[in-house]
Amino acid sequence: MKTLKTFATGLTLTACLLAVAGPAAAGPILVANSGVAADQVAPPQVQKIFLGKTAQWEDGTRIVLAVLKSGPVTDAFMKNYVKKSPKQFSTFWKKAVFSGTGEMPAMFGTEAELVAFVAKTPGAVGFVDEASPHDGVKVLAVN
Amino acid sequence: MTSRICRLQVSLGVLSVIALAGTAVVAFAGQPVVHGIISQGYMNSSDYSYLAPTEPGTFSYNEALLNVSAPVTDNIRVGAQLMARNLGHAGNENVVLDWAYGDYRFRDEFGLRVGKVKTPFGLYNQTRDVDMVRNSVLLPQSVYTELMRDVMNAFEGASAYGTLTLSDAASLEYDAFLGTVDVEGPNFPVDLMLQPMMAQMWGSFLPLSGWVSEGKDIYGGALRMNTPLEGLRLSGTIFHGAMDGVGTFAAPLGYFTPEFSMEANYWWVLSAEYTTEKLLAAFEFNRASVDMALRNALVPTGLADPATMVMDIPIKDQRGGWYGQATWQFNDWFQLGSYYSMYYPDYTVRDGDGFAWKQRDLAFTARFDLADYWLVKAEVHAMQGTGDVQESLNTGNPFTTENWSLFAVKSTFYF
């Protein structure tokens, strides 16, 4: 009886917290086109990929970058992996574009648009919130 | 005029070919992507005209850039950029090919760019015309001098580049380049350089016409280290480059045919940049050894032998200087900054009579990102000295004031 009461209390509290918090933001995950051979990427390699220092996957396929324009997932991904603010990231790629040394990553306003682009573009890689739908793409472990 | 039209046609042709090439291979590569910039500035200075007729003020300060690039295969990319600019005497809004090259990236450690390539020099030379990537309107002129722009802007040739991984947190990027200095005649403010020499010889300023420039060999290298200290980048660049040219000065007795040559024996710059989420701090120090020579033949109207009136003026240019800069990003749309820049026309002279042996520039800069594709910048400069002030922009205005000021504002649209 006591166990049931404790369980019911815990369930109620959890439900209340979920109601207050709204949809969960679980943090960014790396998603890639299903044709990408890699299954995992080391954190320093993530930075090199998103700054264009690494431009091809190991099998020689060109890496195509897909980036969310703004939002907490973008902030977290840039801070934790790319080591730049979103504005610095944008400035970095503008330098590359107008000096001819690189191409601006594809930018998306929503995670659904980004996932759809990654799913249909060979070599594409991007990031989305773990909790958002990402069917049709491959999740790359970062470790 | 014909040559300008031809140059424009060639430039547009190159862009068209690249766009078509990108379209043709879209099935296995990427779509050609187009980006552009249009900016308009205004400058006003208190006592002297600087870089342009800034005293009493000028709108003769603008740029337009348009580029297209496309991946052709997984490791080959092509692109080109057109530019038209105007800064006082320089540019005159002629459309020129700013860069155009094919980029073969064999692997991360080695790639090759062949074509017309922007010259690596310091932290910002390759993006000197790109307003969106910095806080200030004017780059510190102690390092990024507009007068020498055409020697250091771009070259036609090849560049080998790559990134070497040193550790998880550090890497070394390199560039080694070889080619011919690309001198776009209308961009080179040759009259600003030559007229003081001519005035020194003949005692008055004369109008220059028919100038034809030719670039000579350039070679050099750059190393950039992303250090283990997050946000700290160190770099060093050195190059050798040369150009020459010939033109005509009209004169009451006939005309002069100056032949001008300039050879940067070396020009190096050491740089450090540190960035955090809000802060950018940079320091750069540069020195150059440039030999210039002016051979001037007076061709009097009606006389047959001008050789008897040839004069040679050798000039040793040992420019040098440094600057320190800091900017702070308050929020997405507002950034403040300041830099302190010291320029010495001759770095071996650190003191002297008058004001011409140095130019100090204390600048306060502000940037407002008003929309995703529009920014406005404004800045004030407290200047001391006239070491970088061109006499030809200030005829009849003796350099009697040591302290003067400059105000600049610029609006830039981009996509």
Nearest in space to B97 (alpha carbons), one of B14, B20, B179: B14
Residue B316: the pLDDT is: 86
* pLDDT reading at B342 higher than 60: yes
Instruction: Work out the minimum CA distance from B60 to partner chain A, whole angstroms.
Output: 23
Residue B258: the pLDDT is: 74
Residue B242: the pLDDT is: 87
Residue range A119-137: average pLDDT?
Answer: 95
Strand-pair partners of A141: A40
Beta strands, E only, B252-371:
254-275, 279-300, 310-317, 320-331, 334-344, 359-371
Residue range B181-190: average pLDDT?
Answer: 63
Partner B contacted by A35 (CB < 8 A):
no
Which residue does chain B place closest to A58, by CA atoms? Answer: B107
End-to-end CA distance of chain B: 30
Instruction: Work out the minimum CA distance from B345 to partner chain A, whole angstroms.
Output: 29
Q: What is the CA radius of gyration of chain A?
A: 19
Which residues, in sequence order, are CB contacts of B168 under 8 Å at separation 6+?
A42, A43, A44
CB atoms B133 and A61 under 8 Å: no
Contact A97, A103 (CB under 8 A): yes
Nearest in space to B42 (alpha carbons), one of B414, B410, B413, B412: B410
- Answer left, alpha or beta for residue B115, where phi above 0 means left and psi between -120 and 50 means alpha: left
Residue range B317-338: average pLDDT?
Answer: 96
CB atoms A98 and B127 under 8 Å: yes
Q: Cα angle at B87 between B208 and B252, to 5 degrees? A: 15
Nearest in space to B247 (alpha carbons), one of B261, B228, B233: B261
Q: Taking CB atoms and an 8 Å cutoff, what residues of chain A touch B74?
A: 56, 60-62, 123
Burial of B101-111, coded b for 16+ CB within 10 Å and e otherwise, reads bebbbeebeeb
Confidence of residue B312 (pLDDT cuts 50, 70, 90): confident
In what side-by-side order are the strands of the sheet with A40-41? A40-41, A138-142, A28-32, A124-129, A64-68, A106-108
pLDDT tens digit sequence for B205-219: 666 666 777 888 999
Who wins on pLDDT, A21 or B192? B192
Which SS3 state, helix, strand or coil, does residue B261 take? strand
Distance CA(B100)–CA(B334), nearest Å, equals: 34
Kind plus residue range of the DSSP H or E element containing A5: helix A2-21
CB atoms A60 and B108 under 8 Å: no
Which SS3 state, helix, strand or coil, does residue B172 take? strand
CB atoms A103 and B133 under 8 Å: no
* pLDDT reading at A66 higher than 50: yes
Nearest in space to A64 (alpha carbons), one of A134, A126, A142: A126
Distance CA(B143)–CA(B122), nearest Å, equals: 8
In this predicted structure, which of A75-79, B391-395, B398-402 has the lowest mean pLDDT? B391-395
Domains and CATH numbers, chain B: 2-414 (2.40.160.10)
Partner B contacted by A45 (CB < 8 A):
no
Residue range B16-31: average pLDDT?
Answer: 48
Nearest in space to A100 (alpha carbons), one of B100, B16, B408: B100
Q: Which CATH superfamily is domain A25-142 in?
A: Periplasmic binding protein-like II (3.40.190.10)
Nearest in space to A59 (alpha carbons), one of A32, A84, A25, A80: A32
Arithmetic mean of pLDDT over chain B: 86
Distances (CA, A) of A18 to A14, A15, B66: 6, 5, 50
Distance CA(B22)–CA(B102), nearest Å, equals: 12
* pLDDT reading at B110 higher than 90: yes
- CB-closest option in A55, A64, A95 to B127: A95
Residue range B235-242: average pLDDT?
Answer: 95
- CB-closest option in B30, B132, B231 to A94: B132
pLDDT tens digit sequence for A12-46: 544 444 444 444 456 899 999 999 999 999 999 99
What are the φ and ψ backbone dihedral angles of B350, each rounded to 5 degrees? -110, 10
In this predicted structure, which of B4-18, B73-87, B98-112, B129-143 has the lowest mean pLDDT? B4-18
Q: What is the ipTM of this complex?
A: 0.85
Residue B322: the pLDDT is: 98
Which residues, in sequence order, are CB contacts of B31 under 8 Å at separation 6+?
B22, B23, B70
Residue range B323-335: average pLDDT?
Answer: 97
* pLDDT reading at B196 higher than 90: no
Distance CA(B364)–CA(B33), nearest Å, equals: 36
For the purposes of burial, counting CB atoms within 10 Å of the CB of B139, is it exposed (0-12), middle (13-18) or buried (19 or more)? buried
In this predicted structure, which of A44-58, B139-153, B163-177, B244-258 has the lowest mean pLDDT? B244-258
Contact B339, B140 (CB under 8 A): yes
* pLDDT reading at A6 higher than 60: no
Partner A contacted by B162 (CB < 8 A):
no
0.80 surpassed by pTM: yes
Distance CA(B287)–CA(B350), nearest Å, equals: 14
Confidence of residue B24 (pLDDT cuts 50, 70, 90): very low
CB atoms B105 and A103 under 8 Å: no
Residue B97: the pLDDT is: 93
Q: Which of 72-131 (A) contact B at CB < 8 A?
A: 79, 83-85, 87-88, 91, 94-95, 97-101, 103-104, 123
Instruction: Work out the minimum CA distance from A111 to partner chain B, whole angstroms.
Output: 20
Residue B248: the pLDDT is: 72
Confidence of residue B202 (pLDDT cuts 50, 70, 90): low
Distance CA(B226)–CA(B15), nearest Å, equals: 34
Pairing of strands B279-300, B171-181: unpaired
Domain-wise residue ranges, chain A: 25-142
Residue B12: the pLDDT is: 46
Nearest in space to B207 (alpha carbons), one of B258, B251, B253: B251
Pairing of strands B403-414, B33-45: antiparallel
Residue B208: the pLDDT is: 66
* pLDDT reading at A80 higher than 80: yes
Contact B403, B384 (CB under 8 A): yes
- Give me the percent of chain B exceeding a pLDDT of 90: 60
Nearest in space to B37 (alpha carbons), one of B59, B11, B66: B66
Q: Looking at residue B391, what DSSP letter applies?
A: G
Distance CA(B279)–CA(B272), nearest Å, equals: 14
Residue B353: the pLDDT is: 80
